Chain A
Amino acid sequence: AQSVSQHNHHVILSEAASLELGCNYSYGGTVNLFWYVQYPGQHLQLLLKYFSGDPLVKGIKGFEAEFIKSKFSFNLRKPSVQWSDTAEYFCAVTPGGSNYKLTFGKGTLLTVNP
């Protein structure tokens, strides 16, 4: 069974700082990878996804993630964070070829101070 590990439980940054949130997964086959975000008081929503092709994926609001197969990693990045990026971020994985049985990491709470 697949599993997802997110390295940081809580990250605190100042506005304009760069962000990188770590995500590693364990699964032997091909995978689909996702980052979901949950803003305060809102529901989970998709930030970006990787299925195949270019391992550098761009999502909404200036976020991007890079799939490094050799490292089983899918780290999330943003060059300059804003106060409105304060949220909880979840990395998730499904076996390749389907989008079912999403396995989520425990999440990283990002706090951006103005």
Chain B
Amino acid sequence: EAGVAQSPRYKIIEKRQSVAFWCNPISGHATLYWYQQILGQGPKLLIQFQNNGVVDDSQLPKDRFSAERLKGVDSTLKIQPAKLEDSAVYLCASSLILGQGTNEQYFGPGTRLTVT
């Protein structure tokens, strides 16, 4: 079974530029998550999709971050404009069905973003 795919793996941009990350979840997984992991901290949930609908985006900085999952499969996360504090690893995860307590979240390798 193929895992969660993410690209690019690394990205370096200057502040005020824009950047986009792509995620392809495990086939058949209805729920997709984006996390931000700042160095020295645990991952923090940014947004959660169930199919192509947003379930929770309460921790997404909506003035600069946006995410979509138009066809209920792959997803993109965008930052525009980027700030220095956005430097982090952006993790994508997927699971079978929201609300099923025994479902495991499977994580991708992450995209390491450096904003200079």
Judging by beta carbons under 8 Å apart, are A100 and B109 in contact? no
Q: Within 8 Å of chain B (Cβ to Cβ): is A77?
A: no
Q: Within 8 Å of chain B (Cβ to Cβ): is A90?
A: yes
Please pick, from A44, A45, A96, A100, the residue contacting B98 in the complex, using a CB distance under 8 A. Answer: A100
Contacts of A104 in B (CB 8 A): 42-44
Please pick, from B33, B100, B107, the residue contacting A43 in the complex, using a CB distance under 8 A. Answer: B107
Contacts of B31 in A (CB 8 A): 100
Q: Within 8 Å of chain A (Cβ to Cβ): is B91?
A: yes
Judging by beta carbons under 8 Å apart, are A45 and B107 in contact? yes
Which residues of B in the span 88-116 have a Cβ within 8 Å of any Cβ on A?
91, 93, 95, 98-105, 107-110
Q: Is the interface of A mostly helix, strand, loop or mixed?
A: loop
How many residue pairs at the A-B interface have CB separations less than 8 Å?
64
**Closest-CB distance, B23 to chain A (whole angstroms):** 12
Judging by beta carbons under 8 Å apart, are A100 and B56 in contact? yes
Q: Is the interface of B mostly helix, strand, loop or mixed?
A: loop
Complex: chain A residue closest to B50, CB-CB: A100
Please pick, from B40, B91, B101, B110, the residue contacting A98 in the complex, using a CB distance under 8 A. Answer: B101
Contact indicator per residue, chain A 55-99, by CB within 8 Å of chain B (1) or not (0): 000000000000000000000000000000000001010001111
Judging by beta carbons under 8 Å apart, are A51 and B102 in contact? yes
Docked CA distance A49–B45 (Å): 19
A-B residue pairs in contact (CB < 8 Å), sample of 19: A32-B101, A42-B109, A43-B3, A43-B4, A44-B43, A45-B107, A51-B101, A90-B43, A97-B99, A98-B99, A99-B98, A99-B99, A99-B103, A100-B48, A100-B99, A102-B105, A104-B44, A105-B42, A106-B40
Which residues of B are at the interface with A, using a C-beta cutoff of 8 A?
3-4, 31, 33, 40-45, 48, 55-56, 91, 93, 95, 98-105, 107-110
Q: Known contacts A43-B108, A96-B101; can you find 12 more A-B pairs with CB under 8 A? A: A4-B42, A43-B3, A45-B107, A46-B105, A97-B99, A99-B95, A99-B101, A100-B98, A102-B45, A104-B42, A105-B42, A106-B42
